[in-house]
Amino acid sequence: MSSYDQMLAPLLGAGRSAWTAHDGGGGGGEAVVRQILKCTRWQLEETTDFVTCPYHYYCDSSYPGDYHAAVGVLVAAFAAYCFLSTLAFTVLDLARSGGGGGGAGGVRGIRRKYLLPSGPFLLPLVLLVLAKGQRINAVFPLAQLGPALLLLLQASALAFRNEADGDIRYAVLEASTVSGVLHASLYLDAVVLPYYTGLEALRWSQFSGECATCLCRMEPLVVGGTAVRYRGLSKTALAIIFALCSRMVCRIYGEERLSAWTRSALEAAGWVFVAADAVYLVGWVAIEGGAVAVLAYSLVAGLVFLSVFGKVYRFLAWLETRQSQWKSSLCHSAV
């Protein structure tokens, strides 16, 4: 059994049992399950059995097959590197905040933008992985672990600003990040929505026997299913896009008090949505099962909350500094 099938085993439950009963224990069950989970177009047929089969569906799309397992190994290594680089710079920023040092934006002369998943060099690779994620199912299956990669990208984009000398170059970098976050959300939905739809089709349907993927349902089949509320293109992605756009406006036109507070509020809203998604996904995979998925999402959630802690810590330090300055000015005015 492959790593992909091992991750699917605790998730399929009733759907796999229903197919086994229908197939009589034959060998074609796994292929049909894979086709249902990868189906991108479901066709509703007319039915005369309104009691036991009011909705009859069949998969009207073909699946070209999985990439070689070596592709999954490369994707897993790339995802691990993205996590470690983001974690390293998060810890460095937190250490600088505690020590009062300045933000250098790099390590030993290497600019930070070359090493982060939201930077202009690694972001195209993230988009390539998500765009081809439908066929990546070995070692790092994107249908289950893709949201963790998107959360990592979103956290990196929020936590670290693009470093550029001029406003024009900065605007181009920031605009590319905004476009990358938007496209990554769309690509991820193209991977996970068929998977969630297939999960619901397997769990809450019965095979009619008219074809390999013909299903009888008592309720209409919903795109993305109803059991999982997570979407790539959601309030979280929009909040991050708004925060990045406000950051770009403040850099180009100057940070007045109102615009600075607006930018800070939008960034805070983005962190709230990212943290909420991280908690929700950890809870979902913990209920559904799968130790690898639980570990992956827990690590990303820990990174998100470490970033949030760093932001809160810097904000409290800023408040303490302002309060000290205010008290000092009162003392001087009294003298």
Distance CA 283, CA 182 (A): 25
Identify the pLDDT of residue 25. 41
Between 265 and 101, the higher pLDDT residue: 265
Is 51 inside any structural domain? Answer: no
Is 333 inside any structural domain? Answer: no
Model confidence at 28, in pLDDT bands (50, 70, 90)?
A: low
Entry pTM: 0.85
Is 165 inside any structural domain? Answer: yes
State pLDDT tens for residues 179-189: 999 999 999 99
Distance CA 134, CA 150 (A): 15
Is 127 inside any structural domain? Answer: yes
What share of the chain has pLDDT > 90, as a percent?
A: 48
Q: How far is CA 299 from CA 256, 285, 294, 330, in A?
A: 37, 13, 9, 47
Is 182 inside any structural domain? Answer: yes
Distance CA 39, CA 198 (A): 7
Tokens of 206: 């019965």
Q: Which of 8-12, 290-294, 317-321, 326-330 has the lowest mean pLDDT?
A: 8-12
Between strands 106-107 and 110-111, the pairing is: antiparallel
Identify the pLDDT of residue 3. 45
The parent domain of residue 194 ranges over 69-235
Is 19 inside any structural domain? Answer: no
Model confidence at 259, in pLDDT bands (50, 70, 90)?
A: confident
DSSP secondary structure code for residue 187 in this structure: H
Residues 6+ apart with CB under 8 A from 288: 10, 11
Distance CA 285, CA 146 (A): 13
Is 257 inside any structural domain? Answer: no
Please work out, in degrees rounded to the nearest 5, the angle formed at the alpha carbon of residue 24 by the alpha carbons of 21 and 30.
Answer: 80
Is 248 inside any structural domain? Answer: no
Positive or negative: CA dihedral 216, 222, 226, 229:
positive
State pLDDT tens for residues 160-209: 988 776 778 888 888 999 999 999 999 999 999 999 999 999 988 889 88
Mean pLDDT, the chain, as a whole number? Answer: 83
Model confidence at 97, in pLDDT bands (50, 70, 90)?
A: low
Q: What is the mean pLDDT of residues 214-224?
A: 91
Number of domains in the chain: 1
